[in-house]
Amino acid sequence: MTRTRADWQAIADSLSPRTQAFIDGKFVDAVEGQTTTSISPATGQSLATLAECTAADVDLAVKAARRSFESGVWSRASADTRKATLSKLSALIMDNLDELAVTDSLDMGKLVTDAHTIDVPGSAMILQFYAEAIDKLNGEIPVTPPGNIALVQRVPLGVVGAVIPWNYPLEMAIWKLAPALAAGNSVVLKPAEQSPLSALRLAELAAEAGLPDGVLNVVPGRGETVGRAIGEHPDVDVLTFTGSTEVGKMFMSYSGASNLKQVWLECGGKSANLVFADIDNLNEAAEFAARAIFFNQGEVCSANSRLLVQREIADEFVAAVVAQAKNITVGHPFDPAANMGPLVDRRHTDRVEEYLKQGVALGSVAAGGRRLTIEGSDCYIEPTVITNLAADSAPAKEEIFGPVLAVIPFDTEDEAIALAHNSEYALAASLWTGNLSRAHRVAERLHVGTVSVNTVDALGVTTPFGGFKGSGFGRDLSLHAFDKFTGLKTTWIRY
């Protein structure tokens, strides 16, 4: 069913967002009574006035999480019970597909059709994957001397703090919550200030699914207050974070200065897309190259924001990418004709605009390059392609987190690999070639978390996702995510 803008707007008009913190199974005001507003970047208008929590609320949430964990109501519940509860939550997410999609779209500007076909169904599917995995996590019996047996089990770690960004509000929450809850932990989640609404609704749905009180707590508020309080809390056992490298480093400090909680970081990226002259289909590769940077307004940690293209096809390839960029319609996220919505907020758009200015000054703008005002909101950026940039210039090297592609030509395979590695990040890379040996040779040498060959940004619930170097460590998705949320416990019996 294709919906019109009016259809989406009617759903938006019918929403009544949850605006309080969710602690110990109840919606509550912030202890200190402060509130803040959530603004839609599509219109600049306020969506809701909601609780702005502080360290006092975090403390209540951690206490509730600890109580629920120690009680065993979830941590020692049968695998069947946990599986049924999380499966129910997965189903409830799909029952509320329209509402959740519209909520994330309004809150942070992504196309509602993407939220509706990707974010929300993806979240339900990921939750189902971890629900199904609960009774398949077997332990080990290692070899021990005669008369002894040792049981090695995966046990939940206790209270998990989760701090997430705004680019995939519901999905980032699920990436963390699904394996953490499946493993039997209790969770305190801080959504991003810009996009708190779907996480609050998710907490309510979790309660409806039968998740016991205190097992999932959602504390909206600012990073410097709520995020920091979670990071420094002496009774949080594990901290799982997705966001910038800068803030990721802070969580390491918070841990070191408090209780040595485990810290798992999914941080930034400046992923390279390596296009060799021997590609099978130039237009297809160009279409993927454009999608890899313009999808979700370029607000994707693994966005292929550096296009490394072999010199002999560079002009033709860039022209094909530019044609793709010029075909993109920027507009209101409910507009069925739009292919790109607004960036998350004015502050972030200012930051991206700064990089546009540098790109204009330091390179040549082949497409886009301007900030746009649409329907009264100036949070829009044209899909932009910049050529003739030095590899070490800021727009070619720093994470922009917007629809800005830096193009750098190369001559040889070695040079391409060296350019790809010329980054503080190591999250992902893509490579395009029609030569099987080159595909394997280059993929093997690329030191990043995920290499996509003849595609871009490949990702799935069954495969681990995460980076090396400044992109962090630990893996989301796949069964490996359980490594973050369980500990190995040995019980040694002499008989």
**Residues near ligand NAP (CB under 6 A):** 163-167, 190, 192-193, 222-224, 227-228, 231, 242-244, 247, 250, 266-269, 301, 399, 401, 427, 471
* Helices 97-108 + 120-133 axis angle, to 10: 120
Instruction: State the CB neighbour count (10 A cutoff) for residue 63.
Output: 18
Q: Tell me the one-letter amino acid at 158.
A: G
List the single partner that 377 binds among ligand NAP, Mg ion, none, CB under 5 to 8 Å by kind. none
- Residue 248's alpha-carbon distances to 242, 252, 254, 439, in angstroms, are 8, 7, 10, 33
- DSSP letter, residue 402: S
Strand 35-39 with 468-469, pairing: unpaired
Find the residue with minimal CB distance to Mg ion: 107
Q: Toward ligand NAP, which CB reaches closer, 169 or 363? A: 169
Residues 6+ apart with CB under 8 A from 489: 152, 153, 154, 155
The DSSP bridge partners found for residue 386 are 365, 406
Strand 428-432 with 384-387, pairing: unpaired
State the minimum distance, in angstroms, from the CB of residue 83 to ligand NAP.
26
* 301 carries an active-site annotation: yes
Residue 375 contacts residue 332 (beta carbons within 8 Å): yes
Q: Tell me the one-letter amino acid at 90.
A: S
List the single partner that 38 binds among Mg ion, ligand NAP, none, CB under 5 to 8 Å by kind. Mg ion
List the single partner that 192 binds among Mg ion, ligand NAP, none, CB under 5 to 8 Å by kind. ligand NAP
Catalytic pick among 171, 266, 353, 399: 266
State the minimum distance, in angstroms, from the CB of residue 17 to ligand NAP.
17
State the minimum distance, in angstroms, from the CB of residue 445 to ligand NAP.
22
Catalytic pick among 193, 267, 299, 301: 301
Q: Toward ligand NAP, which CB reaches closer, 96 or 167? A: 167
List the single partner that 237 binds among ligand NAP, Mg ion, none, CB under 5 to 8 Å by kind. none
CA distance 422 to 391: 8
Q: Toward Mg ion, which CB reaches closer, 107 or 476? A: 107
List the single partner that 166 binds among Mg ion, ligand NAP, none, CB under 5 to 8 Å by kind. ligand NAP
State the minimum distance, in angstroms, from the CB of residue 38 to Mg ion.
5
Residues 6+ apart with CB under 8 A from 395: 355, 358, 359, 362, 363, 386, 389, 404, 406
Query: Six-digit token pair at 459?
Result: 């990702």
Phi, psi of 380 (to 5 degrees): -105, 140
CA distance 31 to 59: 10
Q: Toward ligand NAP, which CB reaches closer, 314 or 427? A: 427
The alpha helices in 116-223, defined as continuous H runs, are 120-133, 169-182, 197-209
Q: Toward ligand NAP, which CB reaches closer, 173 or 407? A: 173
State the minimum distance, in angstroms, from the CB of residue 100 to Mg ion.
15
Q: Toward ligand NAP, which CB reaches closer, 131 or 428? A: 428
Q: Could you write out the DSSP letters of every residue in 453-487?
A: ESSSS---TTS-B--EETTEES-BSTGGGHHHHEE
Using CB under 5 A as the criterion, which residues of the chain lie in contact with Mg ion when the complex forms?
A: 38, 107, 194
Q: What is the CA radius of gyration of the chain?
A: 23
The DSSP bridge partners found for residue 493 are 149
List the single partner that 107 binds among ligand NAP, Mg ion, none, CB under 5 to 8 Å by kind. Mg ion
List the single partner that 295 binds among Mg ion, ligand NAP, none, CB under 5 to 8 Å by kind. none
State the minimum distance, in angstroms, from the CB of residue 428 to ligand NAP.
9
State the minimum distance, in angstroms, from the CB of residue 195 to Mg ion.
5
Q: Toward Mg ion, which CB reaches closer, 344 or 453? A: 344
Residues belonging to the active site: 266, 301
